Amino acid sequence: MREDSGRSADGRHGIAGGAVKGSALASFADAVPFRLPQDLIEWVAKFDPQVIYSPLGSIRMMSAALQLSQRFDIPIVPHFMDDWPSTVYMDDARYFPLRRILRNKLEKILSRAPFGLTICDDMSGEYGRRHGMRFEAFMNCVDVPAQSVGEARHGGGEVVFGYVGGLHLNRWKSLCDVAAALQAAKDAGSDVWLDIFAPEADIRAYRSEFDGFTAVRNMGSLGYSDVRETLRNYDVLVHVESFLPADSRYTRLSISTKIPQYMAAGRPILAYGPDTLSSIAYVARVGAGLAVTKEGDVPGLLDGARRLIGLPGLRTQLGETGRNVASERHDAARERKRLMALLASAAAKGEA
């Protein structure tokens, strides 16, 4: 179990537990009865926490959080980054016993939670209805520039689209549709390009899928420290999701970490994916970009791309709207204070 800690103003603490991932072969090991090690119990007693914060994610992690909560009589604040309670152990009928154990553990966790945290408003609403309790949306945080970052500067009328993210979960298929739309714009005379940045393994696996698009200028990988400045080099940023139901059930209630980064960069977003997915709906709802939500709608993507290529004012408007939303909802300094306030309120309820 990974633990990180932070000290509160009165000298006491909270415990943060991270989710653990296992292979299919280790699935049943997740349900093996778990007992807190004595050295951990002694460390926690010395640490003197007021609240346990954890994204959970596995039966063993829930067991650890639950036992600590019960032993030290402190509340748990779970933070759901995606809808894993609905997807874990759902791929094989042999895992049905694990599903029952997981649901039972989760019910016990939530019974010791004054409220829960989620990754977005959509998840908070659904989880509130599902579990009959309060959930607060606490979204991905980024450093937001205090002022507009200005437009990207390219020679002549060149407009460059950029994609930063994974190509797994069949996102590469959706990105190929975007590439096809930009290729059509290029063939019709627009000076438009697409750069794709993804993990090295994804680039190796899917590079050949984009070989036929001369509009795709670069394919490579970025280090995390390079993402912020790189995003500002583009006129339009692209976000895609898979239309396949098997993929959508994993991403339906999640907000991609890239969305706040895109918004903070002050660039308009061309989003492509089902409107039932929170990431796509969020971009459209806050007015940070254009969303195309019909599968295979290359003409719709072409229409959106042409608007973004030909209307610099629209690019500026959408980019500024996104940056303002990032400042209001994703600014790291502001959200850290809000998180501390939420955890302090949970601790206070635990001591009442």
* Cβ(212)–Cβ(203) below 8 Å: no
Which is nearest to 80 in space by CA: 113, 52, 120? 120
Please state which of the ranges 7-11, 52-56, 241-245, 345-349 shows the lowest mean pLDDT: 7-11
* Residue whose pair of structure tokens reads 């939420």 in the numeric block: 342
Say how far apart CA 83 and CA 12 lie, in whole Å.
Answer: 31
Specify the pLDDT at position 226. Answer: 94
Instruction: Kindly give, in sequence order, each residue whose CB lies less than 8 Å from that of residue 235, ignoring residues fewer than 6 positions away.
Output: 151, 152, 154, 159, 160, 161, 267, 268, 308, 315
Report the pLDDT averaged over residues 285-299.
98
Quick one: pLDDT at residue 75? 97
What is the percent of the chain where pLDDT is above 90? 80
Q: Is 50 exceeded by the pLDDT of residue 12?
A: no
pLDDT of residue 156: 67
Say if strands 3-7 and 13-17 run parallel, antiparallel, or are unpaired.
antiparallel
Q: What is the mean pLDDT of residues 31-46?
A: 93
Query: Where does residue 37 rank: exposed (0-12), middle (13-18), buried (19+ CB within 10 A)?
Result: exposed
Which range is least confidently modeled, 137-151, 243-257, 261-275, 290-304? 137-151
- What mean pLDDT comes out for the span 278-296? 98
Specify the amino acid at residue 41.
I
CA gyration radius, the chain: 22
Give the pTM.
Answer: 0.87
* From 20-29, 111-120, 212-221, the region with the lowest mean pLDDT: 20-29
Is pLDDT at 102 greater than 80 in this prediction?
yes
Q: Alpha helix (H) ranges present in the chain?
A: 38-47, 59-72, 84-87, 96-111, 121-131, 171-187, 200-206, 224-231, 245-251, 258-264, 278-286, 298-310, 312-329, 332-351
pLDDT the model gives residue 71: 96
Q: What are the beta bridge partners of residue 135?
A: 116
Tokens at residue 16, please? 């943060």
CA separation for the pair 288, 269 (Å, rounded): 6
Q: Would you say residue 30 has pLDDT above 90?
A: no
pLDDT at 213: 98
Please enumerate in sequence order all residues whose Cβ is within 8 A of that of 334, keeping only pairs 6 or more positions apart, or say none.
Answer: none
* Tens-place pLDDT, residues 181-221: 999 999 999 999 999 999 999 999 999 999 999 999 999 99
pLDDT at position 93 is: 81
**Which phi and psi (to 5°) does residue 244 adopt?**
-70, 130
Q: How many CA atoms lie within 13 A of 167 on its CB side?
A: 23
Mean pLDDT in residue range 147-169: 83
For residue 92, the model assigns a pLDDT of: 77
Nearest-angstrom CA–CA distance, 21 and 13: 26
When pLDDT is averaged across residues 75-83 and rounded to a whole number, the result is 96
Average pLDDT estimate for 171-176? 98
What does the pLDDT look like over 225-249, one tens digit per residue? 999 999 999 999 999 999 999 899 8
Q: Report residue 24's pLDDT band, with 50, 70 and 90 as the boundaries.
A: low
For residues 314-318, give the mean pLDDT: 96
What is the length of the chain? 352
H or E element: which one contains 217? strand 216-220
Please tell me the distance from the alpha carbon of residue 204 to that of residue 313, in angstroms, as a whole number: 37
How high is the mean pLDDT of the chain? 90
Task: Provide the token pair at 11.
Answer: 């000298």
Residue 155, pLDDT score: 60
Amino acid, res. 233: N
**pLDDT for residue 154 is more than 90:** no
Superfamily of domain 3-141+331-351, CATH level 4: Glycogen Phosphorylase B; (3.40.50.2000)
> What's the distance, CA 177 to chain centroid?
23
pLDDT given for residue 14 in this prediction: 55
pLDDT attached to residue 114: 97
| Mean pLDDT confidence for 17-21 | 44
Q: Where in the chain is CATH 3.40.50.2000?
A: 3-141+331-351, 159-329
Q: What is the pLDDT of residue 149?
A: 67
Tell me the C-alpha distance between 30 and 9, whole Å: 36
Q: Within a 10 A sphere around the Cβ of 229, how many other Cβ atoms?
A: 10
Could you confirm whether domain 159-329 is CATH 3.40.50.10280?
A: no
pLDDT grade, residue 134 (50/70/90)? Answer: very high
